[in-house]
Amino acid sequence: MSDSIVEFSNVTKQFGNHRAVDNVSFVVRKGRIFGLLGPNGAGKTTSIRMLTYILKPDSGSIKMFGQPVGPETQKKLGYLPEERGLYKKMKVGEQLIYLCRLKGFTREKARSQIRYWLERFGALDWIGQEVGELSKGMQQKVQFIATIAHDPDCLIFDEPFSGLDPINSEMLKEAILELRDAGKTIFFATHRMEQVEQLCDDIALFNKGKLILQGDLTEIRSSYGLNSIRLRFSGDSRFLNNMENIRINNRSTNYAELRLLEGANDQLILREAQRHVRIHAFELVQPSIQEIFIDSVSK
C-alpha cells in the first residue's frame, strides 16, 4: 500500500520451544490508530519489540516508512513500553528535556514542547519534582509525555492506560485521538477490548502467536450483522441459564450480552425474559470486539 507506515511480512519469532509470533503479516496505514489485540501472551509485545528493533525476527521482514527496521527507523518512533522506565532521582523537567535532546531537539525547543504537554495534563507543578516522588499514575503521564514530546511520526503504545484512573484515562484517550487527527500513525497494543471500541480504526487480533483476524474495525463489525443482544433488567438472572440458541458473552448484575446462535429468535428471547425479569433495555446490535474475539478463537 502506498500509504503504509508499517509492514509485517511472514514474521516469526521463537524463544526455545515457544513460538511467540507465528508467520504474521499485516499493514499499518498512515494516520490511523491500529489496535494490536489479544490476551496476555498472545504475541503483541514481542511484535512491538521487533518493530522497535529491540528484537529481530527469526524469519520474515518488517518495514517502517518503506525501509527495514533498524537504528534509522528508531529515530522516527515514540515508544511507550508496557514496562515503564524513568530515572527516579531525576526531576521531571530535566528528564523530559534530556529525552527530547536524545532525539535531536534543541534545549529551547524541548522546553517549549514539554511545557505544552505538562500544561495540557495539568502537571506543570511537577516540573521540579523528582520522578520517584510522584504517584504511579503521575509517572505514567510523565512517561506518556516523554513518548510524544519529540513529535515522532509513528507512536507505539503498549498498554498505555495501565495504572490510570478513569479521569486520567479519558485525558490520555483525548490526547491519542488528537495526535491521530494531526496525522500521526498510532500502534496500540492492549488486551482491554473496550478500549479498542473507543479508539481503533483498524485491528489485528492475535491468539497464541497467530494472527486470526485483521482489517477495518467498522467493516469487521458490520460483516457480523445485528447478531447480538444487550439486555438490562432487574430481577433474578438465572433464567438465562436455560435459554437455547444463545451464548452469554458478558454477564453481570442486571446486565447481559447475548450472542444469537443458529435458530435463535430475538423476539422469543424478549418474551422469555419478560416472563422472569423486568426489562429496562433490549437492544439488537452488532457484536462487540470481545464477542468477535471469542467467535474468532472458537473457530
Answer whether 0.85 is exceeded by the pTM: no
Average pLDDT, the chain: 90
Grade residue 40 by pLDDT with cuts at 50, 70 and 90.
confident
The reported pLDDT for the residue numbered 75 is 86
pLDDT above 90 (res 22): yes
pLDDT in tens, 88-137: 889 999 999 999 998 888 899 999 999 999 998 888 888 999 988 988 88
- Residues of the chain with pLDDT > 70, as a percent, come to 99
Q: Indicate whether 232 and 134 sit together in one domain.
A: no
Residue at which a domain ends, from 182, 216, 250? 216
Closest CA to 6 of 60, 63, 54: 63
Our count of domains for the chain comes to 2
Q: Indicate whether 206 and 235 sit together in one domain.
A: no
The reported pLDDT for the residue numbered 2 is 56
Grade residue 262 by pLDDT with cuts at 50, 70 and 90.
confident
How far apart are alpha carbons 120 and 181 in whole angstroms? Answer: 17
How far apart are alpha carbons 69 and 67 in whole angstroms? Answer: 6
Q: What residues make up the domain containing 68?
A: 4-216
Q: Indicate whether 151 and 84 sit together in one domain.
A: yes
How far apart are alpha carbons 40 and 261 in whole angstroms? Answer: 28
Residue with cell 522546553: 111
User: What mean pLDDT comes out for the span 189-203?
Assistant: 86
Q: Indicate whether 204 and 236 sit together in one domain.
A: no
CATH number, residue 281? 3.30.70
What would the DSSP string read from start to end of 73-110? HHTTEEEE-SS----TTSBHHHHHHHHHHHTT--HHHH
The reported pLDDT for the residue numbered 68 is 96
Dihedral, CA of residue 50, residue 53, residue 56 and residue 61, to nearest 10:
70
Q: Indicate whether 8 and 155 sit together in one domain.
A: yes
Joined together, the cell numbers standing for residue 294 give 471469542
Q: Indicate whether 186 and 55 sit together in one domain.
A: yes
User: What mean pLDDT comes out for the span 34-47?
Assistant: 89
**DSSP 3-state percent helix, strand, coil across the chain (nearest 5):** 40, 30, 30
Angle between helix axes 136-148 and 166-181 (nearest 10 degrees) is: 10
Q: Indicate whether 212 and 230 sit together in one domain.
A: no
Of the listed ranges 108-112, 196-200, 265-269, the one predicted with least confidence: 196-200
pLDDT in tens, 158-185: 888 887 888 888 999 999 999 999 999 9
pLDDT above 90 (res 193): no
Q: Indicate whether 92 and 35 sit together in one domain.
A: yes
Q: Indicate whether 130 and 234 sit together in one domain.
A: no
The reported pLDDT for the residue numbered 159 is 87
The reported pLDDT for the residue numbered 8 is 97
Residue at which a domain ends, from 216, 239, 267? 216
Q: Indicate whether 183 and 89 sit together in one domain.
A: yes
pLDDT above 80 (res 299): no
Q: In angstroms, what CA-CA distances link 260 with 18, 65, 108, 110, 295?
A: 36, 43, 59, 54, 12
More confident residue, 276 or 294: 276
User: What mean pLDDT comes out for the span 33-49?
Assistant: 90
CATH number, residue 200? 3.40.50.300
pLDDT in tens, 209-257: 999 999 999 999 899 888 899 999 999 988 899 888 998 888 888 999 9
The reported pLDDT for the residue numbered 41 is 85
Q: Indicate whether 208 and 235 sit together in one domain.
A: no
**Residues 6 or more apart in contact with residue 111 via CB below 8 angstroms:** 93, 97
